Chains A and B, each alone.
Chain A
């Protein structure tokens, strides 16, 4: 069964609103989670690395004030897209690294459409 969940699986919002996406590790504690973005017909690109109890590390070109990441517990990381615009429409996927199994598991993804 799924070991990483994401909620919601899809969301449609109006331009200018904020959207929060949750990523949960279900059967292990994840000190590190990763947020990826995938535009249609493209590959996954790392946006940021989320560390429990500390600030996220953002990749070059990703606006930290626009994509707020909070990793408040060992099983939950959230990504908030603030003041969303149509160009933010994408597929957002999280992954959580399981140190016990030395690999990361992916959530099912969240499809965001900004009108």
Chain B
């Protein structure tokens, strides 16, 4: 069964510090993609970063980087130099290619609070 696990319901980080949000996944499909989304209180889902299962290097997008450890089936999000505007819910998601039309499976999310 495909599953995404986010074990941190809530996280606090001091402004300007780095923070790691954990995500582990489970799939038997060799081809998959991993995503991180930010959801502020407005509800919109903001795409942050993507990692393909065959990508050799960890994905980076500005202050966001994805620590992809395939053998451990983990895809942790690292946010560097946290800003107050980073306070939001963060969802890890997976897309498998076999037997699906490309929908995403989401974890339960982590609520990040950035302290001034």
In the bound complex, residues from chain A placing their C-beta under 8 Å from that of B103 are 34, 46, 49
Question: Do residues B43 and A111 form an inter-chain contact, with CB atoms below 8 A?
Answer: yes
In the complex with contacts A42-B108, A43-B109, A93-B45 CB distance below 8 A: yes
In the complex with contacts A91-B43, A109-B43, A104-B102 CB distance below 8 A: yes
- Dominant secondary structure at the B interface: loop
Q: How large is the interface on A (under 10, 10 to 19, 20 to 34, 35 or more residues)?
A: 20 to 34
In the complex with contacts A32-B101, A49-B101, A104-B102, A43-B91 CB distance below 8 A: yes
Q: How far is the CB of B10 from chain A (nearest CB, A)?
A: 11
In the bound complex, residues from chain A placing their C-beta under 8 Å from that of B109 are 43
Report if B36 contacts A (CB, 8 A). Answer: no
In the bound complex, residues from chain A placing their C-beta under 8 Å from that of B98 are none
Q: Could you tell me which B residues sit within 8 Å of A by CB distance?
A: 33, 35, 37, 42-45, 47, 50, 91, 95, 101-109
Q: Could you tell me which A residues sit within 8 Å of B by CB distance?
A: 32, 34, 38, 42-46, 49, 51, 57, 91, 93, 95, 97, 103-106, 108-109, 111
